[in-house]
Structure 1
Amino acid sequence: MARILNVIIFFLSVASVAQNRIPELVSPEVNADRTVTFRIYAPSASEVLLECDLLQKGSGPMRLTKNESGVWSVTTVALPSEMYLYNFQVDKVRTLDPNNAFVIRDVGNVFGMFFVPGGKADDYLVRDVPHGSVIHVWYDSPSLKTNRRLTVYTPAGYETSKENYPVLYLQHGAGGDEDAWLQLGRTAQILDNLIASKKAKPMLVVMANGNAGQTAAPGESSAPMKKPVFIQPDMFSGNTEKAYPEVVAFIESRFRVKKDKASRALAGLSMGGMHSLVISANNPELFGYVAVFSSAMLWPKEAPGEVYKDFDRKLEAQKKAGYKLYWIGIGTDDFLFEQSNTFRKKLDAMQFKYVYKETAGGHTWSNWRDYLTEFVPLLFR
């Protein structure tokens, strides 16, 4: 009798769990008409909002509606093809979408991500094409007195080829690290797709950590695992720029690459754009191609680094040394737009030739992925 009673209790428990089971939801669901539906099960919540970088400037979060089953949902208008990041606010508490396994870190925040295909986002997706490899390597930096971590993309066929390849050195912005361009910038997918379609030459892409006080991305070194911060205290020390030739020297000793100026390119976004300006001006013999995306163009007058001193003279030396391409891209809503205009006026007065790309939008990865996709096909021609 006791055994029968235990069986009855077991099945009643299973039935109870089944009745209270969290429903399986699809979220986000990218619909055929490019609208996107978000869903979250939160029966006790009184308010659920959607925070997403798809929203128009100043529009605020989107409000979800709850049905009788406790599922909140909202469907957007048709969206442009793009990579998007988002979170929910449940009763004013920010949370990830529990139904989306695809998450990404940006500085100290974590977001769900999704793609709306059928346009430029197709360049960011993994296609059925030959794929390059991504590795992390450590190099010795005598200037910074430490070993440091690099992320390196090698194109499809590198391992079996005897060819020497050109190199793009790619810099992240403030708050980023050597994995930012790989994850948020979709560099490996963009390069795979451009190379496979013959729009770009096969090349290596080297992504260094631009924070002189870090040896590696958060959680990838022996440093304490603290929440990442946006601004590092040594941002304007000049140490990153001064030590950068060590990155080039390491790559050329470790990898099968071409070692002439016309086979090296340097590009960066925001803080990394500033680094690219300064590194290339201080080393006019190194890089035949330079690009700055939404770049900080000015630095504090009290910045201690020697690399910032006599900068106009260094630009003149860079101009005299010659280069293949100097490329500037920025959005009209970028908070650094006026700085960019000021810097371009300086270049114009010096008759320093450059290519200028002005787009809509602001200081966003959406623009920076666009700039990378446009700049890479121009290299090493």
Structure 2
Amino acid sequence: MAQEALFRAQQIISPEVHDDSSVTFRLFAPNAESVQITGDFLPTVKMETPMGQMDGPGKADLVKDENGVWVYKSGVLKPELYNYSFIIDGFTTTDPNNPFLIRDVASATNIFIIGGGHADLFEVQDVAHGTVARRWYDSPGLGMDRRITIYTPPGYENSNEKFPVLYLLHGAGGDEEAWINLGRTSQIMDNLIAAGKAKPMIIAMPNGNVIQDAAPGEGSTGFYKPQFMVPKTMDGTYEANFMDIIKFVESNYRVIPDKAHRAIAGLSMGGYHTMHISRYYPNTFDYVGLFSAAIMPREDATGKVYSNIDETLQTQMDNGYKLYWIGIGKTDFLYDANKEFREKLDGMGMKYDYVETEGGHTWRNWRVYLSQVAPLLFK
């Protein structure tokens, strides 16, 4: 019987997505006392984080069958990319039957997709595909070679065409892997471009942590546990030296090197960097996107970049731009900061597009924001 149960365990399918978009999860753990599942498809709960109280994924109990397999079946789920983990006798772990995972800061979770609607953008479709490369560039301002992820659109290698560039920035705890892995950037862009909804463009996804040359495990400091915040993350150093990145891209790729063909956008800390880079270099970008952005610097952030904020915003406005886009979730912990920033822009007469969505500070929103903003670029 033990061998029979073991054999059956090897045939476990988890997660199993049903035709009605419900999902069954299974885990072989005959000696466990309790098994729960936690994931963003479950009702949210309040949880304490380094950023204060935020919405977090709920939990549900699995039930053990006669073969020692624990089972949970969800209700019908809406189209989305979801993540989840198991909790076995209080220990949180991944699903051994699902090899598909993402890393967010130091946490690895399994993923699955319920197709349809906007979630079709997150799947690999039978369309022309772009290329994703990890490159190294010299940053004289930071005194090191650094790693950057570059997406080039379908057909780039076989053409002589020049392309516009979107600089896409990650949040705190992220790195140059975040947008391509968690954000599904290449899938979103391949599908939008194939549908004629977005212009073919190059997307540069740099590492915003200035003390790192690359993501943990990919750079010269080897393997170490990623941290949510690292030194010098939001002290102005990154913003002040951002032209090193633009210089590399414009020297190594076929681009149109002018304001009308440059865009910059970012989430959370990357939205903070986007806001300050775009006004510190106020005649550089015609398209700006703030996704759940942190806004104003802390009192101890005294870098030159953070002086004359109102004056440089005014200069940015006077120079003209084609899109200044702000998106935030209704329960995002940065909602009030974004409201205050919009009031500042309103007082200046600085025009912007504003999108308010359900939910909070999550990749679920940021993937959607990218899919909404990309079609607006370079028109």
TM-score (norm 1): 0.94
- Give yes or no for the alignment of 1:228 onto 2:215: no
Which amino acid in 2 is paired with 1:134? V
Describe the SS at the equivalent of 2:290: strand
Q: Distance in 2 between matches of 1:75 and 1:314?
A: 54
- Among 295, 298, 308, the residue aligned to 2:296: 298
Q: Tell me which residue corresponds to 1:278.
A: 276
Q: Tell me which residue corresponds to 2:33.
A: 46
- Among 249, 268, 282, the residue aligned to 2:266: 268
Contact 1:236–1:305 (CA under 8 A) maintained in structure 2: no
Which of 1 and 2 has greater Rg?
Answer: 1
Q: Tell me which residue corresponds to 2:15.
A: 28
Q: Tell me which residue corresponds to 1:201.
A: 199
Which amino acid in 1 is paired with 2:38? E
Contact 2:125–2:191 (CA under 8 A) maintained in structure 1: yes
Q: Distance in 2 between matches of 1:99 and 1:119?
A: 27
Which amino acid in 2 is paired with 1:87? S
Q: Tell me which residue corresponds to 2:52.
A: none
- Structure 1 stretches lacking a partner, 5+ long: 1-14
Runs of 4 or more, structure 1, over 6 Å off, are none
Q: Tell me which residue corresponds to 2:66.
A: 68
Distance 1:252 1:101, change over 3 A: same
TM-score (norm 2): 0.95
- Structure 1 position 283, deviation (Å): 0.4
Which amino acid in 1 is paired with 2:30? P
| Deviations, residues 59-113 of structure 1 (Å, cap 9, x unaligned) | 8301000011101001111111000111000100111101101111111011111
Which amino acid in 2 is paired with 1:224? G
Equivalenced residues, count: 367
Contact 2:39–2:58 (CA under 8 A) maintained in structure 1: no
Distance 1:317 1:99, change over 3 A: same
Q: Let me know the Cα RMSD of the aligned residues.
A: 1.2
The percentage of aligned residue pairs carrying the same residue is 50
Which amino acid in 2 is paired with 1:119? G
Which amino acid in 2 is paired with 1:254? N
Q: Tell me which residue corresponds to 1:322.
A: 320
Alignment of 1:227-376 (within 5 A): 227-376=225-374
Describe the SS at the equivalent of 1:56: coil
| Deviations, residues 337-367 of structure 1 (Å, cap 9, x unaligned) | 0000000000000000100001111000010
- Structure 1 position 218, deviation (Å): 0.9
| Deviations, residues 10-60 of structure 1 (Å, cap 9, x unaligned) | xxxxx9755644341110011111111100001011100001011112283
Q: Tell me which residue corresponds to 1:6.
A: none
Distance 1:204 1:215, change over 3 A: same
